[in-house]
Amino acid sequence: MYSRYCVAHAAGRLEFIFNDGKDDWDHPPSNNNGHYIVEEAGSYFVQQGVVTKCHPKSKPPTLLVPQRVSSSQIEISWNPPDMSNVKQYKVYRDSTCIASLPSCILTFLDSHLQAGMHYTYQISGVNPSGIESNKIELTVKTLPIGRPGRPIFLTVLQQSEKSITLRWQQPRQFNGQNVAAYRIYRDNKLVSTEYIGHNYKYDTVFTWEDKNVEAGEEYTYYVRALRMARSLSGTFLFDEPVLRNRNSHANLSNSSIALDDNEGSSSEHITVSAASSSSPRIGDGECHILMQAFHWGSWNEKYLYKNLLTHVDEIASNFIDTVWLPPVSHSVDHQGYLPCQWYKLDTHYGKEADLRKLVSSFKKKGIGCMADMVLNHRCASEKGMDGNWTEFVNPNWSHWAICRDAQQPGGTGNLQTGSKKDARMFFFCG
């Protein structure tokens, strides 16, 4: 393989070969003793023995502006240049390239930034020949430090009559300062504060075990993040004893941050019983008998959940230990495969209260319930500022939850990593 060479010439015929400065000559692979030939004015490059005419250099993008600014995130957008032949855009932050985007993407979300800091962004266009345009530049300052966002993906890792283990991930929004600890609440009362220090990755998963439970009792949990405390001089306080002292009401005068301002909003709530589940679990290595409890037209019955509730004993008597239920979320279509609110569980199959009662009844008989979901299917409720359908509710997600190279326009998330197919998943519930 040879490097890329650019050749410019006037009208007429030009024959040439390359030399390494010694005795090694690069002849066209098709004619080892011949020359490379171009017969039309223009710029060309040679790569792997092929002469290709260069595309003209792109003009720089236009109208680079900030769309959203917080303590830890900056979102920028731009317009394509006139007569664009751009194949991709390069995004620079403080002169370092941090992203390459396809030409259909005209926004970029930069996360994990420091609060109150100036950041200079540059955008350039790259044509199909790999030639980069001049850059357009914008300087943006993040907002002052704010409270951390809500922890995400709170789930039950293990449960038994003796303990309950929770798992969660850190907030998407740090709002300018690292998280130093997490507060765990049970039934609206603070039961533990877990200090994590400052050396952790952005995708860290945290766990906590509650050993102070009573067998068979039901508990509701949620988690809040605490940002790193500072002294009056602005120095970060990393040590756990200092953080413990800092977060006591008697020592608020030792810090420049008020206690209420230090604690973020609550994660989603989760309710779990202190009991070992006898229902089947994915990967338990056992054989199970599964019954599909619905068909394509079951939505038209309106009372599927109530109807199934009258057959729980009959289903259990036939040695069935797993029931396949239809999609459980509020959906645009009747069948439930185009959900628009994942956490709204009133559907054409019945009300949320009926579903909960059904799952509880199956669980008492040792029958697991399996929910049907197509993860790539979700319908937005509102349009974003760019006019694309990117705003989701319940949970509240935005364009950052859509891959930026997805078929649907407006996404600013990561690039797709898997095959472009729907991911159909089945989840055991209860």
Strands 322-325 and 290-292: parallel
Contact between 244 and 252 under an 8 Å Cβ cutoff? The reply is: no
Taking residues 230-242, what's their average pLDDT?
A: 44
How far apart are alpha carbons 362 and 126 in whole angstroms? 59
Is 281 a member of any domain?
Answer: no
Is 121 a member of any domain?
Answer: yes
Shared domain check, 162 and 236: yes
Shared domain check, 98 and 47: no
- CATH classification of the domain holding 254: 2.60.40.10
3-state secondary structure of 104: coil
3-state secondary structure of 72: coil
Shared domain check, 421 and 401: yes
Is 283 a member of any domain?
Answer: no
Q: Which domain-ending residue is among 238, 273, 308?
A: 273
Q: Structure tokens of 212? A: 């102070």
Shared domain check, 306 and 257: no
Is 257 a member of any domain?
Answer: yes
**For residue range 141-162, what is the model confidence (pLDDT) as tens digits?**
988 877 888 898 898 888 888 9
How far apart are alpha carbons 54 and 51 in whole angstroms? 9
Q: Which amino acid is located at 378 in the chain?
A: R
Shared domain check, 99 and 128: yes
What is the span of the domain harbouring residue 392? 290-429
Residue with tokens 């620079």: 92
Is 223 a member of any domain?
Answer: yes
Shared domain check, 298 and 195: no
Shared domain check, 231 and 330: no
Strands (E), 289-377: 290-292, 322-325, 330-331, 339-341, 368-374
**For residue range 370-429, what is the model confidence (pLDDT) as tens digits?**
888 887 788 888 887 777 888 888 888 888 788 877 777 778 777 777 665 555 555 555
Helices (H), 85-223: none
Taking residues 64-68, what's their average pLDDT?
A: 91
Shared domain check, 353 and 409: yes
Q: Which domain-ending residue is among 108, 141, 174?
A: 141
- CATH classification of the domain holding 350: 3.20.20.80
**For residue range 81-129, what is the model confidence (pLDDT) as tens digits?**
876 788 889 999 999 999 888 888 889 989 878 888 999 999 999 988 7
Return the closest-CA partner of residue 100 out of 404, 314, 311: 404
Shared domain check, 220 and 182: yes
Taking residues 359-376, what's their average pLDDT?
A: 84
Q: Which domain-ending residue is among 107, 141, 175?
A: 141
Shared domain check, 378 and 300: yes
How many structural domains compose the chain? Answer: 4
Shared domain check, 416 and 322: yes
Total-model pTM: 0.50
Residue with tokens 């909960």: 356
How many angstroms separate the Cα of 311 from the Cα of each of 288, 293, 304, 359?
19, 11, 11, 13
Shared domain check, 108 and 161: no
**For residue range 333-343, what is the model confidence (pLDDT) as tens digits?**
899 998 988 88
How far apart are alpha carbons 18 and 41 in whole angstroms? 19
How far apart are alpha carbons 251 and 415 in whole angstroms? 47
Is 146 a member of any domain?
Answer: no
